[in-house]
Structure 1
Amino acid sequence: MIKTLIIEDEINVREGLKKLLKIIAPNIKVIAETGFITEAIQIIKKEKPSLIFLDIELEDGSGFDILKQFETIYFKIIFTTAYNQYAINAFKFSATDYLLKPINPIELKKAIQRATIALDKENLLTVLKHNLDNKEQKIVLKTSENQFVINVKNIIHLEADGTYTHFITTNKKIIVSKNIKFYEDLLNDNFFRCHQSHLVNS
């Protein structure tokens, strides 16, 4: 799930956005919402969201004023505004996307897909760096609801199930939507195929 903050001073727009997110983006978890700059800054520092929907014109200032309080923008930003003259400034802050109100559901879905891909890449790079630092081989497994970082040595075996693969580990079972061939190529140094539908950790 992607921890998400909505910063928007119009309550009806916030409610409309939340309804759309429930329908088209089940991977989004709205952890907080606000329409005020000071409160938004406090929430970001405390909750550390991965994604922020940010209105530019707020009651007590500009959405850009919030971003200027952070030396590093570690979260993804989807700007929402009724005006298109802010686009250049928005992309100076490495905006993932820029949506004009009223928000189009198709454009919203595309924006979330872009944000998800960007976050996945960052997570993978983090894991790779961790592996290099700790000299342990790990793998990222994504389900429809969660993301797991698993130590390869804790995987007992894999079972094929059509286009899905079941990972049996020392403490859990994880089902992912990639076929077993994908993981056979990825784990070929550590695993052998004892059956057409099974890969076993050697």
Structure 2
Amino acid sequence: MDFGTVLLILMLVIIAIVLGVGITLAVLISRGVVGLVKIGKPKYESAKRSALKVRAESSTGPVAEILKQRVALAEALEATGRSLAVAQGAGQYTGNLEPIFTSLQQAGKVTEHHLLVAQQEPDAAVQALYVKTLGTQVEQITKTATGVRQALAGTAAPAGDVDLTDLTRTLEIEATMLKKWAQTYTELGND
């Protein structure tokens, strides 16, 4: 081989190595960024809700009520979403609770939008009217969200006493039979 061919082969090897390292770094960085976003999103939402709580407590008049309704709505939907996710992750039967919760989330988004509009309203009298009408919707959504969580808790009830009593009785019978078998086996060995 002449010098030009060797140089060409070396250049191709170097380019392949640089491309391999570049692609590997790009994949690692993109996965790291996605991971950070997944980790950071709940913390961001929690910080946002905490700031909203502080604003609700420090505000007065209809604005304070609107902010409190926003907090109640967000907390109810988040708690219900977490409960449903945990139940599904554990393999618990959830029936039609997931579509119910999806509809509840959609109603919550619409209500949240209306609450944001109400919050921006410059007239306190109009804000008070928003508080009255939207308060009913927020209450319905939070009660339904609580109902979903209660339904999940109801299906997660432990086995009843009847099942445990039957299990205990079966265990006692089995223990008695093993004891008699051991005695019979020992007596046969002594003969």
User: Normalized against structure 1, the TM-score is what?
Assistant: 0.24
Greater RCO, CA 8 A, separation 6+: 2
| TM-score normalised by L of structure 2 | 0.25
Tell me which structure has the larger Cα radius of gyration: 2
- Higher percent of residues as strand: 1
